[in-house]
Amino acid sequence: MATTSKTVAARTRALADGNLIPLFGLGVWQVPDGPTTVNAVRWALELGYRHIDTAQVYGNEASVGRALRESGVARDQVFVTTKFNPSRKDAAAELERSRQRLGTDYVDLYLVHWPQGGATRAWPGMERARELGYARSIGVSNFGRRELDQLLAVAPVPPVVDQVQFSPFEDRRALLEGAQQRNIVVEAYSPLGTGRHLSNQTVRRIASSIRRTPAQVLLRWCLQRDLVVIPKSTHRERIAENAQIFDFSLSDENMAALDSLDRTDGTDRALERPWW
């Protein structure tokens, strides 16, 4: 466990605003509020995770906050992300509510969850939240390259992160390259395809050939593609397994085999279909 702790927490990269983000974290999308979320976050912190990703629409910020407090890990040692629900009016006002639910003075990263109402609609409230010191860094989620450009054209404070679904099967290469050129770090959500990609034959073959698990192969692929990655699990042993990705690498050949699984044609879009 000590090894996991050092290994997971130590790996960070700098965002364009100078703040550091851990390369790996726990996502809690679809984890019910209450003991399930409290346990998942508590186990992750025990196992050395120092990055937790929640959102207003997940409905589990209070449990994330509870686990953070009960863990005994200092607040400044954990990178906490939440996301503005863009069906609400004002991002700064909603962060006030998130801070209360989380029981924290600030979040490390605050994202516009999706570009409802257009790419720029929520941004003034995001900038205000940052100015007030309640969000250390601000960014977006589910923004394609076109939406990033619409926002960058007008934003005094540029977004430093775009969180999108990313995996060998959703290999949005043009979006990743575009984001990199614009100094925006891409975070991969649903890197396991919410579990669906774990049974793929190519993924399984590579995993068994290097004595790793399918989840580790998919997560390592993300790291080698310069993505920050936030897999979700509610099981302690899986939370531990998913963190063991800093002590091996995938060969060029295995990376290429995984790259060939892409079904998006290397798109610059964040989503195949918007849900709003």
Nearer to ligand A2P, 55 or 95 (CB): 55
Stretch that binds ligand A2P, among 4-12, 59-67, 116-124, 188-196 (CB under 6 A): 188-196
60 binds ligand A2P (CB under 6 A): no
* CB neighbours of residue 271 within 10 Å: 17
Do the beta carbons of residue 268 and residue 175 sit within 8 Å? Answer: yes
Cβ-based neighbours of 118, under 8 Å, separated by 6 or more:
150
Establish whether 106 is a catalytic residue: no
Nearer to ligand A2P, 91 or 111 (CB): 111
193 binds ligand A2P (CB under 6 A): yes
Give the x/- contact pattern for ligand A2P in 145-184, rule: CB under 6 A: ----------------------------------------
Nearer to ligand A2P, 122 or 245 (CB): 245
**What is the C-alpha end-to-end distance of the chain, expressed in Å?**
42
Residues belonging to the chain: 276
Closest approach, Cβ 230 to ligand A2P, in A, equals 7
Give the x/- contact pattern for ligand A2P in 198-237, rule: CB under 6 A: x--------------x-x---------------xxxxx--
Q: Please identify which residue in 238, 261, 268, 271 interacts with ligand A2P, judged by CB under 6 A.
A: 238
Q: Please identify which residue in 60, 191, 243, 245 interacts with ligand A2P, judged by CB under 6 A.
A: 191
**Sign of the CA dihedral running 80, 86, 89, 90:** positive
Nearer to ligand A2P, 89 or 263 (CB): 263
**Contact set for ligand A2P, span 23-42 (CB under 6 A):** 27
Q: How many Å apart are CA 49 and CA 158, to the nearest integer? A: 28
3 state SS for 46-85: HCCCCEEECCHHHCCHHHHHHHHHHHCCCHHHCEEEEEEC
Q: Please identify which residue in 241, 245, 254, 270 interacts with ligand A2P, judged by CB under 6 A.
A: 241
Q: How many Å apart are CA 248 and CA 245, to the nearest integer? A: 6
Do the beta carbons of residue 55 and residue 113 sit within 8 Å? Answer: yes
SS3 content of the chain, % helix, strand, coil (to 5): 45, 15, 40
Kindly list the residues in this chain that would bind ligand A2P in the complex (CB under 6 A).
27, 190-195, 198, 213, 215, 231-235, 238, 241-242
Query: Mind telling me the catalytic residues?
Result: 58
